């Protein structure tokens, strides 16, 4: 039987050991483990990589610990604008949504764009109209409220400052969640979801929902989900860059992932990390920051839940 595997992330950034309480660290690790294991259970039963990544990301969206879904940060207007993407490496079908509000699980809406529309990327009012037609309920703003995120916003509200989750502080991180998986048939998939930047204006969109930038999957090469300084990841077309290095330079998954994160993105002053799998079930989780919330599990016995370097 082929090796099957899953990897997930909950954001990268200035995660310095010792600055987080033991209780909070345990909470983060438990949340990562729960999401990882739920995705892995689907793979174990012979389920698809696409189902596995959607399930894992939904669980990460449902916890306020991460800047996606329930724990999304506040915009300059005091609202929550969320983005998500999903891609199937076998068919190259993909779905993405941006600037959606009140949607409990944006990744599932992205999945519906992929499965139930002729399009790839829907944004704003149009994405909300599609959600309504698909039977989505709209959660109240109270559902998305989180005290930590609110205080974060209050600190820079009414200014021209914005921040990636709380990246300017020592416990800061780029709050995106994502999952990549390889199933028993050797098919791969990727999913990514985010609440974006605190105090963001003008309908700013980061890398997360952009196919080939923050999220990409192709059975020829790899599946990738990114987390980092979105503007730089957009300029570097990061997820597709990893795939290109494998396809055109003949690099393996680890070499291509490291080249992108430890060299190419740094050359344009970008920081962050990514998770990736290939069709053999290999996993890579490089990052060039102090830490990255991450976890993985493979049928060959590899298992990890980590935060720091």
The 10s digit of each residue's pLDDT in 92-137 is 999 999 999 999 999 999 999 999 999 999 999 999 999 999 999 9
- Judge whether residue 165 has pLDDT over 70: no
3-state secondary structure of 18: coil
Report the predicted TM-score, pTM, of the whole model to 2 decimal places: 0.93
The structure tokens listed for 45 are 């039963």
Active-site residue, 75 included: no
> Catalytic pick from 176, 194, 221, 260?
176
Confidence of residue 155 (pLDDT cuts 50, 70, 90): low
- Judge whether residue 235 has pLDDT over 60: yes
In 3D space, the residue among 174, 229, 162 whose CA is nearest the CA of residue 14 turns out to be: 174
- Judge whether residue 173 has pLDDT over 80: no
On whether the CB atoms of residues 290 and 13 are closer than 8 A, the answer is: yes
Mean of pLDDT values over 58-87:
87
- Judge whether residue 150 has pLDDT over 50: yes
Q: What are the E-state strand segments in 68-219?
A: 82-88, 94-100, 121-123, 163-164, 176-182, 188-194, 197-198, 215-217
Question: What does the pLDDT read at residue 161?
Answer: 53
- Judge whether residue 166 has pLDDT over 70: no
Question: What does the pLDDT read at residue 31?
Answer: 96
Question: What does the pLDDT read at residue 169?
Answer: 44
């Amino acid at each position: 039987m082929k090796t099957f595997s899953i990897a997930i992330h909950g954001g990268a950034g200035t995660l310095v050991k010792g600055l987080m309480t033991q209780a909070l660290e345990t909470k983060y690790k438990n949340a990562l483990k729960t999401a990882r294991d739920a995705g892995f259970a689907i793979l174990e039963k012979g389920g698809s990589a696409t189902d596995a990544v959607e399930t894992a990301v939904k669980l990460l969206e449902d916890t306020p610990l991460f800047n996606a879904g329930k724990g999304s940060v506040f915009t300059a207007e005091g609202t929550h604008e969320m983005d998500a993407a999903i891609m199937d490496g076998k068919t190259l079908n993909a779905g993405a949504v941006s600037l959606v509000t009140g949607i409990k699980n944006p990744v599932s809406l992205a999945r519906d764009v992929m499965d139930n529309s002729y399009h790839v990327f829907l944004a704003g009012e149009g994405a909300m109209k599609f959600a309504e037609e698909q039977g989505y309920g709209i959660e109240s703003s109270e559902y998305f409220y989180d005290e930590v995120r609110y205080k974060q916003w209050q600190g820079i509200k009414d200014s021209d400052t914005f921040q990636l989750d709380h990246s300017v502080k020592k416990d800061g991180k780029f709050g995106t969640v994502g999952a990549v998986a390889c199933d028993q048939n050797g098919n791969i998939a990727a999913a990514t979801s985010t609440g974006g930047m605190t105090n963001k204006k003008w309908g700013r969109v980061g890398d997360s929902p952009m196919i080939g930038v923050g999220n990409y999957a192709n059975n020829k090469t790899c599946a990738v989900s990114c987390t980092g300084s979105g503007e730089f990841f957009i300029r570097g077309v990061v997820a597709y860059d990893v795939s290109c290095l494998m396809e055109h330079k003949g690099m393996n998954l680890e070499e291509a992932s490291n080249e992108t994160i430890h060299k190419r993105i740094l050359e344009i002053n970008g920081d962050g990390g990514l998770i990736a799998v290939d069709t053999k079930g290999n996993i890579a989780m490089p990052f060039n920051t102090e830490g990255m919330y991450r976890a993985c599990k493979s049928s060959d016995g590899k298992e990890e839940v980590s935060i720091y370097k």
